[in-house]
């Protein structure tokens, strides 16, 4: 290869941001226990969104390499499924220990490639770590059922069996958490795995793969292939892959769901969102404003559980003023800079898309209360920064309301009653999460019962369940019948 293939230790050297390196390393595939450079001639740049420096180059894995990864996973399956569950669990026990050891390194890599603040990057690692901890109790989770003497002298039992080779396709926004939603549960159940990280920030997956190997995962149990649409289509079509976990946009998710289901695969797709908060006039003012700001603008709004729409019951003006005041105090900066509240968005294209949707809101008659489009961050003038943006007087026919913005933009709407507010939420096509802020038990109970969203918060802005439950989502936010990790 004309491009120097540099080992993964390159990621491990120091707490220096990767953009300090002069030659961008090429990201390797993991096939059958070996970290190997791809023969692919085509590669795409992994770019630090705060500085535009090229962190690494990601190969578009060839079909032969993809087949080799699946074949390694298939070969590893028979002995791995027969490996005692206690041994499989112990590897997870070791993995959770060394993820903690290397949490700083993981977080720095996430900040460098994805842009979020170091604090958010640590959260990204921690929420994934909790799934690894959950996988440590797999023996109990995997217990079957037994009924004796169902008829004379006959007992019946059911057992939970691994499927074989499973695959995971990841989005860019949680580079550690989402791979950790996928492979630890799958492999501890006795499956083997082929992971395709996001092409935008593969580094955390590579560090996690190194750690999984160090923890004792046998060769071929976890494999990693890089690429974009062609690699994904290969995963959908491959006869040896039995199940797919996908997290990402609806365009990709519904394509994958249809294509993989047509091949008889089991598929779970977690997709887009437009999460609403309903704010009742009796809500506690300070706590609610703090929650809306944290959930609306944290991680630059690039969370699938970000609150992107606030529906105020009654007069919205004092609330919107309070929000704008708090947002002005937020510090937009490169994620590794001390005191940064939000970092850049992932790419120039993402920034352009977000800015266009803000403009469409203005053109459709919304009030631009706070405009973050022209923000300049000193020292990072080339970064993809969008400052906190608030659009008020938004209505549900506007483009900015119908589309997922996935940036630091909060839409404010007004309703005359709880019923009217809930009607707005329930008519939205997405149903990932929804929250209500109120001190009324009656309103809370009505919301909890009648809101159409997978994950429901009462005075909780981001109601994400811990791994002993499942991450759910309903309506267009999820396709499949089995949810992630719980």
Catalog residues that contact ligand NAD under the rule CB under 6 A. 169-174, 196, 198-199, 228-229, 232, 247-249, 251-252, 255, 270-273, 304, 404, 406, 432, 471, 473, 477
Q: Can you point out the beta strands (E) in 376-432? A: 389-392, 409-415, 430-431
Please report how close the Cβ of residue 433 comes to ligand NAD at its closest, in angstroms. Answer: 9
**CA atoms 223, 130, 270, 166: torsion sign:** positive
CA distance 468 to 483: 12
For strand 409-415 and strand 433-437, is the pairing parallel, antiparallel, or unpaired? unpaired
| Cα–chain center distance at 165 | 22
Q: Token pair of 431, please?
A: 């149903």
Burial of 369 (0-12, 13-18, 19+ CB in 10 A): middle
Contact 483, 245 (CB under 8 A): no
Q: Token pair of 379, please?
A: 């020292």
Measured at the CA of 102, the angle between CA 223 and CA 177, to 5 degrees, comes to 55
Task: Report phi then psi at 321, rounded to 5.
Answer: -60, -45
Choose between 283 and 346: whose C-beta lies nearer to ligand NAD: 346
H or E element that contains 215:
helix 203-215
- β-bridge partners, 474: 431
Burial of 421 (0-12, 13-18, 19+ CB in 10 A): buried
Please report how close the Cβ of residue 465 comes to ligand NAD at its closest, in angstroms. Answer: 11
H or E element that contains 456:
strand 455-458
Q: Token pair of 374, please?
A: 């022209």
Contact 309, 411 (CB under 8 A): yes
Choose between 200 and 336: whose C-beta lies nearer to ligand NAD: 200
Please report how close the Cβ of residue 194 comes to ligand NAD at its closest, in angstroms. Answer: 13
Please report how close the Cβ of residue 364 comes to ligand NAD at its closest, in angstroms. Answer: 22
Choose between 312 and 485: whose C-beta lies nearer to ligand NAD: 485
Residue 361's alpha-carbon distances to 247, 333, 366, 368, 475, in angstroms, are: 28, 26, 5, 8, 24
CA distance 432 to 442: 23
**Residues in contact with 356: Cβ distance below 8 Å, sequence separation at least 6, in sequence order:** none
- For the chain, the residue count is 486
CA distance 401 to 333: 27
CB-nearest residue to ligand NAD: 248
**Residues in contact with 16: Cβ distance below 8 Å, sequence separation at least 6, in sequence order:** none
Closest-CA residue to 113 (of 170, 195, 190, 185): 170
Choose between 249 and 459: whose C-beta lies nearer to ligand NAD: 249
Please give the positions annotated as active site: 304
């Amino acid at each position: 290869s004309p491009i120097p293939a540099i080992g993964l230790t390159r990621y491990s050297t120091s707490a220096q941001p990767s953009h300090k390196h002069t030659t961008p390393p090429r990201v390797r595939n993991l096939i059958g226990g070996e970290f190997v450079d791809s023969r692919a001639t085509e590669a795409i740049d992994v770019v630090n969104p705060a500085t535009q420096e090229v962190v690494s180059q990601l190969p578009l894995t060839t079909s032969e390499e993809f087949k080799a990864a699946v074949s390694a996973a298939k070969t590893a399956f028979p002995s791995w499924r027969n490996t005692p569950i206690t041994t499989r669990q112990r590897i997870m026990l070791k993995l959770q220990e060394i993820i903690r050891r290397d949490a700083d390194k993981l977080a720095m890599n996430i900040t460098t490639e994805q842009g979020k603040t170091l604090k958010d990057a640590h959260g990204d690692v921690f929420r994934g770590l909790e799934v690894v901890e959950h996988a440590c109790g797999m023996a109990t989770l995997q217990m079957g059922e037994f009924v004796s003497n169902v008829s004379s002298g006959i007992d019946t039992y059911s057992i939970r069996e691994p499927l074989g080779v499973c695959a995971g396709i990841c989005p860019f926004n949680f580079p550690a958490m989402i791979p950790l939603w996928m492979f630890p549960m799958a492999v501890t159940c006795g499956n083997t795995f082929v992971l395709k990280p996001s092409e935008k920030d593969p580094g955390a997956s590579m560090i996690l793969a190194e750690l999984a190997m160090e923890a004792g995962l046998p060769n071929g149990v976890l494999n990693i292939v890089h690429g974009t649409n062609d690699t994904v289509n290969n995963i959908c079509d491959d006869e040896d892959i039995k199940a797919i976990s996908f997290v990402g946009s609806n365009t990709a998710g519904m394509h994958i769901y249809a294509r993989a289901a047509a091949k008889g695969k089991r598929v779970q797709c977690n997709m887009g969102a437009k999460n609403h908060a309903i704010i009742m006039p009796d809500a506690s003012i300070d706590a609610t404003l703090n929650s809306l700001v944290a959930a609306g603008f944290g991680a630059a709004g690039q969370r699938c559980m970000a609150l992107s729409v606030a529906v105020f019951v009654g007069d919205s003006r004092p609330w919107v003023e309070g929000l704008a005041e708090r947002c002005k105090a937020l510090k937009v900066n490169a994620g590794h800079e001390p005191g940064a509240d939000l970092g850049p968005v992932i790419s120039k294209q993402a920034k352009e898309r977000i800015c266009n949707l803000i403009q469409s809101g203005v053109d459709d008659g919304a009030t631009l209360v706070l405009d973050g489009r022209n923000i300049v961050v000193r020292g990072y003038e080339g970064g993809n920064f969008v400052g906190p943006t608030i659009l008020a007087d938004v209505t549900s026919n506007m483009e900015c309301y119908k589309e997922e913005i996935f940036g630091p933009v909060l839409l404010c709407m007004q309703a005359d009653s709880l019923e009217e507010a809930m009607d707005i939420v329930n008519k939205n096509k997405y149903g990932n999460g929804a929250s209500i802020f109120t001190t009324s038990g009656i309103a809370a109970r009505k919301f909890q019962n009648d809101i159409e969203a997978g994950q429901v918060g009462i005075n909780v802005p981001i109601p994400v369940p811990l791994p002993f439950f499942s991450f759910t989502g309903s309506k267009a936010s999820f396709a499949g019948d089995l949810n992630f990790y719980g």
